[in-house]
Chain A
Amino acid sequence: MGGVALRLEALSRAREAADVEALIYNFFNLEVLLKVHPLLLKGFWMTIQLCILVVPLGIAGGLVVAVAYSFHVRWLNWLLIAYVDFFRSFPPLVLLILVFYGLPFLGIEVPSLIAVLIAFLLNTASYYGEIFRAGIESIGRGQREAARSTGLNGIQTMVFVVLPQAVRNVLPDLISNTLEVMKFTALASVVALPELLRMGRVAQGLTYNPTPLIAVALIYLALLWPIVRLLSRLERRTMAKR
Chain B
Amino acid sequence: MLELEAVRKSFGAIEALKGIDLLVARQELVFIIGPSGSGKSTLLRCCNRLEEPTAGRVLVDGVDIVSPDVDINEMRRHIGMVFQSFNLYPHLSALGNVTLALRRVLKMPRDEANERGRAALDGVGLAERADAYPNELSGGQQQRVAIARALALEPKVMLFDEPTSALDPELVGSVLDVMRTMRESGMTMLVVSHEMGFAREAADRVLFMDEGEVVEAGSPARIFESPEHARTREFLRRVTGH
Contact = CB atoms under 8 A, between A and B. Distances in A.
B89 A143 contact: yes
Interface stretch (B29-37, B78-86, B167-175): B78-86
A89 interface: no
A145 to B, nearest CB: 6
B104 interface: yes
A152 B50 CA distance: 12
A143 B85 CA distance: 10
A146 B89 contact: yes
A150 B87 contact: no
Contact of B83 (A146, A153, A161, A168): A146
B83 A142 contact: yes
Q: Is the interface of A mostly helix, strand, loop or mixed?
A: helix
Interface residues of A, number: 17
B150 A150 contact: yes
B153 interface: yes
A90 interface: no
B91 A151 contact: no
- The interface size bin for chain B is 20 to 34
A164 interface: yes
B240 interface: no
Contact of A164 (B91, B101, B146, B150): B91
Contacts of A147: 89, 100-101
B89 A150 contact: no
B79 A149 contact: yes
B104 A149 contact: no
Interface in A130-164: 142-143, 145-153, 156, 160-161, 164
Contacts of B73: 148, 151-153
Contacts of B76: 148-151
A165 interface: yes
B96 to A, nearest CB: 10
8 contacts: A142-B83, A148-B50, A149-B48, A149-B76, A149-B79, A150-B149, A156-B104, A160-B104
Given A146-B146, A151-B74, A152-B105, 15 more contacts: A143-B89, A145-B87, A146-B88, A146-B89, A146-B149, A149-B48, A149-B81, A150-B100, A151-B73, A151-B153, A152-B101, A152-B104, A160-B104, A161-B89, A164-B91
Interface of A: 142-143, 145-153, 156, 160-161, 164-165, 168
